[in-house]
Amino acid sequence: MSGEVRPPEGLDELELIQENGEEYRNPTEVKMSQIVLPCHANHCGELSVGQLLKWMDSTACLSAERHAGCSCITACVDDIHFEHTIGIGQVVNIKAKVNRAFASSMEVGIVVSCEDLYSNRQWKVCNAFATFVARRTEAGKAQLKQIIPRTQAEQMEYSIAAERRRMRLIHAEIINDLLSSCCYMQYEDAVPAERTRVESVELVLPPHANHQVSTFGGQIMAWMENVATISASRLCNAHPTLRSIDMFHFRGPSHIGDRLVLKAIVNNTFKKSMEVGVCAEAYQGGEPLRHINTAFMTFEVLDQDKKPQTLPRIRPEPVDGKRRFQEAIARKKVRLDRKYIISCKQSEVPHSVPWEPHNQMYLSYNNVSALKMLAALNNWVLTSEKNKVSLYTLEENHMLCIRVETHVAVEAEQVFLLLSDLQRRHEWDPHYKECEVINQADEDDTIYRVVTPSVSKGGKGKDFILLNGAGIIIFDPYWIALRSVTLPAYPPTEDYTRGEVLSAGFRIKANGSLTKLSYYNQGTPGVLPYISTDVAGLSSSIYSAITSCSAFLEENKDSLAAVPPAAPGEPRWDPV
């Protein structure tokens, strides 16, 4: 609301506490505020992302050096997703602090917000996590002192920093593993990737150097963002908007006098976004090129209503182009996992509810109610279509929700009866490896244990404890819903990773001579690995499963479903 000062979401990790009557402030915290001038803006009158990256890198470096007590260099930066743009005349507020220190490296958390001086409003622009390494001293390799978290927010970031570090270290291994199952499709109307190739050269001068007399990392990122934007513009013949930057590593230093060669090309397009790969190499005189950095940036093209437009397909270059095309798909999958799994772990709120007889009625009602609320959400985005199956996605409360829709030539009631029989789910769904009844609570409620296969080579499978109602309800549309519960007699085991389902299921509605079948799922950490490969375009398992489901329904449309009859008004809810 106009005139109301609202702290931007995500800044609570920097809040102050009272201790011994004195105000506590994190000793590594550094703040920077900059007003956006025309010289900082792009052609749209918005702050250049390259300039913002320079300010962010500078603030984070000062925070790292405050903790280390010596010079530090940027080693890598995690994925950055830009939620809003910043206009001329607005103020950029950047806060950085060290979340956790390891041996000679440390993670610095960065929060960027925007402030409108005329309305006193503030809003979050992005979060980032950068890794800095303390430079060697005359005494040898630096040994950093450990961070001692003092607030609940600091303790949370301290804990999650270890998980983020683990994901950084295995990033290349994950990409290689995903590439083994990556598919490549050719499109006749695709735009040749060669059209988007850009090459530029920059001479590193003293103003481009930092206080350590090396090329400023933020300056390199700004140059890379510039050539990436030109490459994206050549594909869409429009001005693109940078939405995110993948995690990237600085491979080596650059110095004054270097010629920095920057190359960019569009690697792949995903319906309404594109990935641009950009490489920075340096040389002096006749020496060979030195690899400085490679980054991957995701762009969108917005229409007049600020909605993303559909982009043309890309035809990769010969030789390396196909590899880059497939790697872009794998990186999209990793981005989804990093973004949602880590954000879910920050809350650490269990989704499963203990099942007890006294709350059985509440859980049964809440089960289908949650699915109806999920289906009623707005802003679903069509991600892809294949074989008359449509896949939609929606970001809601740091979760990735999916909706898959198709039509079948089977009566709605028969579809409901067949899909409600969970014991037959394995006939069409490869994710249902085993399904057993572990508690027949009464004639209306059954608790199942479902086992799903591992999504990675040599990994553990998952098991879910699911509460399933009973009975049949005669109305349109039909709902088949599920949620996880906990049962003391079936705790997690070492053989399986316990997964959780917050809300998932089917909506079945008659549509003329056909039945519209809609499947919903909220991507909690337990189920995200099974659906994110489809959202990223890495696999077609959801399409295959829904197609198999349609075939299963067609084959059994005249059979009597093995579901006991019930009086009208008695609901039946099954896990899906």
CATH superfamily of 1-159: Hotdog Thioesterase (3.10.129.10)
CA dist., res. 410 & res. 501, Å (int):
28
Residue pLDDT, tens place only, 149-174? 888 888 888 888 887 887 777 777 77
- Say if residue 470's pLDDT is above 90: no
Burial call 224-233: b when 16+ CB within 10 Å, e when fewer: bbbbbbbbbb
**Beta strand extents in 190-289 (DSSP E only):** 191-192, 198-203, 241-245, 248-249, 259-270, 273-283
Between 292 and 367, the higher pLDDT residue: 292
Q: What is the pLDDT of residue 341?
A: 63
Q: What is the pLDDT of residue 540?
A: 78
CATH 3.10.129.10 range(s) for the chain read: 1-159, 170-348
Q: What fold characterizes domain 351-555?
A: Alpha-D-Glucose-1,6-Bisphosphate; Chain A, domain 4 (3.30.530)
- Say if residue 289's pLDDT is above 90: yes
Containing H/E element for 162?
A: helix 152-169
Between 257 and 574, the higher pLDDT residue: 257
CATH 3.30.530.20 range(s) for the chain read: 351-555
CA dist., res. 433 & res. 450, Å (int):
7
Q: What is the pLDDT of residue 329?
A: 85
> pLDDT exceeding 90 applies to what percent of the chain?
37
Q: State whether the Cα torsion 186-182-522-474 is positive or negative.
A: positive
Amino acid at 292: I
- pLDDT averaged over the chain? 83
Question: What is the widest separation between alpha-carbon atoms in the chain?
Answer: 86
pLDDT-based confidence at residue 229 (cuts at 50, 70, 90): very high
- Whether 523 and 490 have beta carbons less than 8 Å apart is answered as no
Distances (CA, A) of 257 to 223, 224, 226, 282: 16, 18, 21, 10
pLDDT-based confidence at residue 233 (cuts at 50, 70, 90): very high
Residue pLDDT, tens place only, 87-134? 999 999 999 999 999 988 999 999 999 999 888 899 999 999 999 999
- Give 170-348's CATH code, choosing from 3.90.550.10, 3.40.50.1100, 3.30.420.10, 3.10.129.10: 3.10.129.10
- Say if residue 357's pLDDT is above 60: yes
Amino acid at 413: E
Over residues 237-264, the mean pLDDT reads 90
pLDDT-based confidence at residue 570 (cuts at 50, 70, 90): very low
Q: What is the pLDDT of residue 427?
A: 92
Contacts for 150 with CB less than 8 Å, ≥ 6 apart: 17, 19, 24, 26
Q: What is the pLDDT of residue 186?
A: 66
Q: What is the pLDDT of residue 343?
A: 63
Over residues 296-304, the mean pLDDT reads 91
- Say if residue 534's pLDDT is above 80: no
